[in-house]
Amino acid sequence: CVTQDAELWFRVNAYGHNFANIPKILVLYRIHRHQISSKIEHSQKKISRLFSLLVSFKKIE
């Protein structure tokens, strides 16, 4: 994914290195629903929903 490496490419480019497009498939990236990044994303969404719920409660004085 381009966005995963965007910061790396910007840093490398800042040091004066150039890039070129190679019109070939060099790597295959397998995506499936049981991969660890999917599980992490699901956990992050769950935590975000719980945090939003927590923030929505009014403070009891």
pTM of the shown model: 0.35
51: containing domain = 2-56
pLDDT of res. 1: 47
Residue with more model confidence, 1 or 30: 30
> Based on the structure, what is the number of domains in the chain?
1
61 within some domain: no
- pLDDT of 14 above 80: yes
20 within some domain: yes
pLDDT of res. 3: 58
Rounded Cα–Cα distance for residues 46 and 54 (Å): 12
Rg of the chain in Å (alpha carbons):
20
